[in-house]
Structures are given as C-alpha cells and as structure tokens.
Structure 1
Amino acid sequence: MPVLPSWLTDPLWDQFSALLPERPVCHPDHPLGCHRPRINDRIVFDKLLQLLRFGCSYQAIADTTCSATTIRNRRDEWIRLDIFARLKQIALDSYDRIVGLILDQIAVDGSITKAPGGGEVAGRSPVDRGKQGLKRSGMTDGYGIPLGRVLAGANRHDSPLLAATLDLLVDLGPLPDDITVHLDAGYDSAATRTTLTERQLCGQIAHKGEKAPIQASRRWHVERTHAWQNAFHRLCRCYERRATVINAFFDLADTIITVRSLIRRAWKTHRWHARPSQCP
C-alpha cells in the first residue's frame, strides 16, 4: 500500500521534479568512463515520504533500491537547493490562486512534541518530565492552511516566539489592510499587545482565568493544523538534530496538507486531468 494516495503523490512529484536541476545518469568525469548510475530521484522522494509519514529510521526504510546514505545525501542536496521551501511556496500560491487564502484571519499557537535525540532546537519539556522536546510556533490562515512556523526548545514560552512567527507574514506578499490574529490565553500580556500594535495587527486574545470554548473564536483552526502535522510521525517524534532538516520535513508536510486541502476544496468546483473520481 502506498504511503499516500496517487491523486496526491503524483501532483507533488510533478512539481517537485520540475524544481530539480538536470543531472547525468553517470558522472562524466569518471576516469574509466563508467560509474554506478545515479539513483532515480523519484525513488528517493518516495523514501522521504515514507520517512515523514511513518517516522522510522533511515536504515529501516532503506532497501536494495536505495541505501540510507543515499537518502541522507540526496535530502541534504535538496535542502541546499532550497527545493522543499520552494515547493511549499508554490503550493501556497496555487491554493491562493484557486481557492484563496483567508489572510484577514490569522491564528498562532505553539505545540510541543518529543525530540528524543536532542539537537539544535530541542529543550527540556515541561510536560514530559524534563525530557528533550521540540516546540513549534505555528501560524495558519483562517481555514487552517499552514503559513509557517518557528522552531524552539520545548522549554520556551509561546509569547516570546510570537514576534518571529508574525514576521513570516512578510513572505506572503500583499496582505489585507485589517488582519486579526487569534491567540489563546498564554498570549494575554502587554508585551503581546505591543507586538501586535507595532505590526498594525488586531488581536483577539483569550483572557486568563476565563473559561471559553475554543469554538468561541477562530483559534481552533491552528489546533486542527497541529493535529494534521502530528499525523506525520517524523514530526510528532523528531529524531533529527539539525534545524534545517526539521524545517525541510515540516515544509514537505505543509505542502502535503496544502495540496490535499486544495484538491478537496476544488473537487466540487473545478475539472482537471486526473481528477479523482470521488471526493477525497
């Protein structure tokens, strides 16, 4: 059984392959004029999807078609070329053009996950007996499409990460004149309101000590997106130690979430080649 359905992996691969530079099958400078052929990029791409979805080790996913070393080397090569970030931006632009991002309603919240291997952005988790953990301060639009995230140790509070998270809005291009940022009670402070005022943003912040259902605001969209991201076991229990690699896997997961939402929402209003016969 494939790790993802073909109606999702095929468009992902079509766009991903278009971003890859052309490479010869065999290295032309080899002294004997022959060399072991380069592993097909599609094989490595499928292996990365399996790693992201199942969270297993590189050695466990390697087989006769591709070694663990090849997966790591190709992953690092694509990170240097900024392929994952570019793929995510293309998915966001496509979603915005066809469906439309709801950028006048933004939700921001933090989520803590396990990081047993430690690493550059890991810290002592206050909710896991001081074990190593990873916090992401995620930002979504009004529907829950992931717009970006800031990584930090699990011991960091949500509020100081808000400014760096909101700075990611600059990469989205033209923005509405009035933007409302939905936040939970952890952001209820004067520093948060100053941060919003400096960026000319409105804030809808839950008040400390006052019980209110999450449905009372549009904050639940970011909670749902955290659940979507945690469905990828590579992110829910992160063994990667470098921030660049973690961000690459998050970019790939966010691309999958965005394309999946795009296909599902456009299925009833658009027709295209290889459109799924049933609403996914």
Structure 2
Amino acid sequence: MVSDELWEQIEPLLPRRERRFRHPGRRPLPDRQVLCGILYVLHTGIQWEYLPGVLGFGSGMTCWRRLRDWNEAGVWQQLHEVLLAELNAAAKLDWSRAVIDSSHVRAPKRGIATGPSPVDRGRAGSKHHLITDGRGTPLAVILIGGNRNHVTQLLPLLDAIPPVRGRVGRPHRKPDSLFADRGYDHDIYRDHVRARGIVPAIARRGTRHGTGLGTYRWVVERTFAWLHSFKRLRIRWQRRADIHEAFLRPACCLITLRQINSFC
C-alpha cells in the first residue's frame, strides 16, 4: 500500500528513535510496515483492534501510537508541503483562484471539536473545512464542531495555507481570488479578504441559483468526494480531535500525490 515513491518522500521526515543499549527490549516494527497499517485503517475504516496482524502491520495499538507521534512531530504537514512544492515547481498549482467549502460528518462518540449539527437533527458531528487551488488540490484542511458557522473559518483557512516553495522567488501562499458559496456571505469577511489582496467571489444570500460560480466551485466538491472515499473519514469515531486530524492530513497528502502522478 506504500509505494516506493511515497516512501522516498516520507522516510526522511519521520522522527528517529533513540537506540537503547542497556535495556534494548523488543526490536521495534519497521516504520514502513506501520505506515502500511495506518493507511489500511484509513482506506478501509476498520477498527484498530481488528487490524489483521497476518499482513505484517503489527498491532493496532502500535500503529495508533506511531500515527499520534508522527502527527505531533508534524510529519504529515511537512509531507504535504513537500508535495505541494513539487506540484508548484511543475507549474501545476492554479493560484489564479482558490475554492473553499465544508462537509459535515457524524461523531457518535462526541469529543473535542464536535457539536449539535443543524443539518443532522442536532446529533453530534464535526465539519471538515477545506480550501483547494483551482484544480482541486487540497491546500489546507481544518476540523471544527458541527454547530460552528461556515464563515468563521474563512480567514483561519486562508492563514492555514502553508508557504509553498518550488519556484524561484518568495514562497507562494496567497491565491488571486477566492470562490465560496452562500454560507460564507458576509461583507465584513469580504473586506478582510480584499485587505489581503485577494478578490472575493462569494455568492450572496437571496440571489437565484445559476450565478455561474459553480463552474469554478465544483472542484472542491470533487475533492471532498476523494477525501471521503477514505472510509475512516466518513464518520468520526475518534473522541480525540488530533487523531481524526492525523487521518485527515495524510488523506490530503495522498490526494496531492495523485495529482502529481496525473500530470506526469
């Protein structure tokens, strides 16, 4: 499940474990096998305790601990920036516009960053807030409670876009324009977006459908379909928000890697 291409990108980013000479204990499972187990859970949605050991992934708890540790070490964020830089170097990132949207997921076990969702009869849920470039490549993702308003995450998502290198000059982290649906309609936020040198293209409430923004906004809907093709992300089973985010970020990395391969 871990291609040689992906492993070459991620191996230098993984934190090194200090070797214990006095009490070495059991030899730790190789990182590549553990990564295979993590991606197996991400793709299939299987519970950690049912992770099949016969496939060589190790125990579910081993994979869970490495996922937690790698997320705390910023491995997934660094990997995402490396992949975005590769796309940017090939001039395959569309900075002429960015598209923002959110998607609701249920959270039956509740936890941090959950809330009663108005679109799901008040059941506990979370929202994935996503911003992509004009081709649908994920630039940043944020997890919030299901009762939070869309527009409150507009500026945090813009701030979450990392400095993307790969070309001569200063790192790029600002699109020319921003497309969003009626959920982000607020003149104060439009002014904030303009103050950053970005042209807001946000649909207004009360206007009829068919304004033409969907011609550009459909890419983020497609990216959400890609994101939720990973079964572990369709329902949030983790009480801990950092563990769910630790699944969100590698999923964005895999989508970005597919974009790289599609342009090769």
TM-score of the two chains, using structure 1 as the length reference: 0.84
2:13 pairs, out of 19, 27, 36, with 19
The residue correspondences of 1:264-279 to structure 2 (distance < 5 A) are: 264-266=262-264
1-structure distance, mates of 2:138, 2:228: 13
**Which of 207-216 and 251-260 deviates more?**
207-216
Give the letter for the 1:108 counterpart: I
**Residue 21 to residue 109, structure 1, CA distance change in 2 (3 Å):** closer
Matched-pair contact (CA < 8 Å) for 2:161–2:173 = no
Give the letter for the 1:103 counterpart: W
Residues 227-265 of structure 1: per-residue CA shift (max 9 Å, x gap): 110111111111122232222211100110011111111
Instruction: Flag structure 1 segments of 5+ consecutive residues without an equivalent.
Output: 267-280
The residue correspondences of 1:86-101 to structure 2 (distance < 5 A) are: 86-101=78-93
2-structure distance, mates of 1:168, 1:160: 14
Q: Indicate the residue corresponding to 2:238 in structure 1.
A: 240
1-structure distance, mates of 2:224, 2:14: 29
Q: Does 1:137 align with 2:134?
A: no
Residues 190-236 of structure 1: per-residue CA shift (max 9 Å, x gap): 12312212322111122323111766431111111111101111111
Shift of 1:20: 2.2
Give the letter for the 2:184 counterpart: Y
Q: Indicate the residue corresponding to 2:74 in structure 1.
A: 82
1:45 pairs, out of 1, 10, 35, with 35
Q: Indicate the residue corresponding to 1:148 in structure 2.
A: 140
Q: Does 1:262 align with 2:238?
A: no
1-structure distance, mates of 2:174, 2:252: 26
Q: Secondary structure of 2:163's match?
A: helix
Give the letter for the 2:27 counterpart: P
Residues 63-110 of structure 1: per-residue CA shift (max 9 Å, x gap): 254112211222222123211111111111111112421112110111
Q: Does 1:174 align with 2:171?
A: yes
Matched-pair contact (CA < 8 Å) for 1:134–1:152 = yes
**Residue 116 to residue 177, structure 1, CA distance change in 2 (3 Å):** closer
**Which of 38-47 and 62-71 deviates more?**
62-71
2:189 pairs, out of 158, 175, 192, with 192
Matched-pair contact (CA < 8 Å) for 1:182–1:217 = no
The CA RMSD measured in Å over matched residues stands at 2.2
**Residue 215 to residue 10, structure 1, CA distance change in 2 (3 Å):** farther
Q: Secondary structure of 1:212's match?
A: coil
Q: Does 1:116 align with 2:130?
A: no
Provide the aligned length of Structure 1 versus Structure 2.
Answer: 256
TM-score of the two chains, using structure 2 as the length reference: 0.89
Give the letter for the 1:229 counterpart: L
Q: Secondary structure of 1:171's match?
A: coil
Q: Does 1:125 align with 2:117?
A: yes
2-structure distance, mates of 1:139, 1:47: 28
Q: Indicate the residue corresponding to 1:231 in structure 2.
A: 229
**Which of 215-224 and 118-127 deviates more?**
215-224
Shift of 1:53: 0.8
The residue correspondences of 1:23-38 to structure 2 (distance < 5 A) are: 23=17, 27-30=20-23, 35-38=25-28
- Percentage of pairs with the same residue: 31
